[in-house]
Structure 1
């Protein structure tokens, strides 16, 4: 069995998450604002498309607007990726104790297990990030930052508010499961082509056959498949995590309320609002994530072996 690489996986995942957020955060702000704009609220800015949103936010809110919620995004992404890769590698190692090669089903189970644990740990961070991204200069009683938002939410809404959007977040575990399963299977296909051997001969020693370009293509391809299948859950979560009105009344009460209202007033397109910005953000971001992750992991392995 391969050596125990749990902490190396966590370190590589944290580095990958930090690089990803720094590169793509403005598109994340745009995506979130598109997701919550149901066309029925006068308090939300309206944009024609992704370039128009980017230009408008830069012109009216400046750099701070494009990077609204950046601190919780960095914190959440770094913690999420570190925990995700750690839990994922632990689960895979546990399943490998009784078999030589993992089937797609075990990759799926490992990714789902890791995603559920990460979702529960990080939901409060993502809620604060969403609210900071939705703030505009005209909003009453804006949060001054991450810690002020956290204190205000706890004071005005209670600790349960920190877990608004948890249910669609748990459904979004399938996103990571689809992405990682697709990544692992595509990775094996590439290695099999390079070695002209069957899938059962795949092992960690074949890693040197892949380079950064391979990691980029595999990361983007697996991410795109996951986005198309799970994006509606992201819209539902963002709409649930909006800040309540001054009277303390949430715009949406629960996930089912979001589904009914969105389907009624916006149709299927409402569940895919902001997907252009999401694809532009996540396809290259996934490439960067896996390039950094795989190269940092290989570097740490070589260092430990030397």
Structure 2
């Protein structure tokens, strides 16, 4: 019975994460494109809203109108849906393993902040190793217009170009900062789980001791949270993690850009160059669009994830 429940939970986590990734990407891809363009800009020292407005105007007038804002949509959908599906699959199974190991008499125990941090970090590392090639393709397609010299015409064409000119290692450019960025997810999910547990405890009138709380009971109580609860919890956790870890995204994007092999010798070199040429604020380029994207993206992702998961749990019974 335990194996069947574990199998059902893994299936639910995977499908819920996959669905959340697709919906959030379709909704917010243009902001992702804008953020990427600003992150790869190593010349301009402006990071104000005005530069974003000028870039939006440039993309619209010179790269093909509204359709230009959806360049790179295919790798972004593949990357986000695959990443969220893999992440929630790994994360759910690691949490279950930690909970069962710490329980007694077959019961599951409530995890602490450090255990949520570990589970999220481990899931993030596995997901990064699995999906980094997709993010290299996505970054390169989003960072240039379709008419730019050497621009990839499609996801498959880009993969062939990388394999031909850079070899297999080309698919893993930017992996080091991406692995460092795992800390973002770890901080986010640690905060998310603890805030969710706290909110659940304050809204539940009939309390149950944590030592006897089963996985099914935990899921039911979490699914009882309303939309406003999930918006607040997911938003706070994302802002918390984003304020701590944003610079790694700039490093990763620079290392995954078209000319990275020529301009940068590695993660420490790009760090030194940004610091020397652009100062501390260079590590926060694109933060404005990222903040505009991060909360709607988080809200959409977690609302779709939690509601899809709730529907699936009910349908499976």
Alignment partner of 1:144: what SS?
A: coil
TM-score relative to the length of structure 2: 0.89
Q: Within 5 Å, which residues of 2 pair with 1:153-232?
A: 153-195=162-204, 200=210, 203-232=218-247
Aligned residues: 298
Measured after TM superposition, the shift of residue 198 of structure 1 is 8.7
Q: Within 5 Å, which residues of 2 pair with 1:63-142?
A: 63-98=66-101, 99=103, 100-136=109-145, 139-142=148-151
TM-score relative to the length of structure 1: 0.92
* Equivalent residues of 2:22, 2:81 under 8 A apart: yes
Structure 1: runs of 5 or more not aligned: none
Query: Which residue pairs with 1:261 in the alignment?
Result: 273
* Equivalent residues of 1:27, 1:277 under 8 A apart: yes
Selected match of 1:290 from 298, 302, 310: 302
1:49, 1:223 → 2: CA distance? 25
Query: Which residue pairs with 1:53 in the alignment?
Result: 55
Indicate the larger mover: 196-205 or 88-97: 196-205
Residues 221 and 158 of structure 1, relative CA distance in 2, 3 Å threshold: same
* Equivalent residues of 2:37, 2:144 under 8 A apart: no
Indicate the larger mover: 219-228 or 284-293: 219-228
**Pair 1:21-2:25 in alignment:** yes
Measured after TM superposition, the shift of residue 136 of structure 1 is 2.7
* Equivalent residues of 1:192, 1:198 under 8 A apart: no
CA shift digits 1:235-264 (9 cap, x unpaired): 00000011138xxx5221200001000000
* Equivalent residues of 2:21, 2:301 under 8 A apart: yes
Selected match of 1:303 from 297, 306, 315: 315
Query: Which residue pairs with 1:236 in the alignment?
Result: 251
* Equivalent residues of 2:40, 2:250 under 8 A apart: yes
1:137, 1:152 → 2: CA distance? 15
1:250, 1:110 → 2: CA distance? 37
Query: Which residue pairs with 1:250 in the alignment?
Result: 262
Residues 188 and 48 of structure 1, relative CA distance in 2, 3 Å threshold: same
CA shift digits 1:196-228 (9 cap, x unpaired): 659948733312430122112211211111111
**Pair 1:35-2:35 in alignment:** no
Indicate the larger mover: 58-67 or 227-236: 58-67
Residues 47 and 219 of structure 1, relative CA distance in 2, 3 Å threshold: closer
Residues 177 and 52 of structure 1, relative CA distance in 2, 3 Å threshold: same
2:52, 2:160 → 1: CA distance? 33
1:115, 1:48 → 2: CA distance? 34
* Equivalent residues of 1:16, 1:293 under 8 A apart: yes
Residues 233 and 79 of structure 1, relative CA distance in 2, 3 Å threshold: same
Measured after TM superposition, the shift of residue 139 of structure 1 is 2.5
1:137, 1:12 → 2: CA distance? 33
**CA root-mean-square deviation:** 2.1
Indicate the larger mover: 31-40 or 256-265: 31-40
Structure 2: runs of 5 or more not aligned: 104-108
Measured after TM superposition, the shift of residue 67 of structure 1 is 1.1
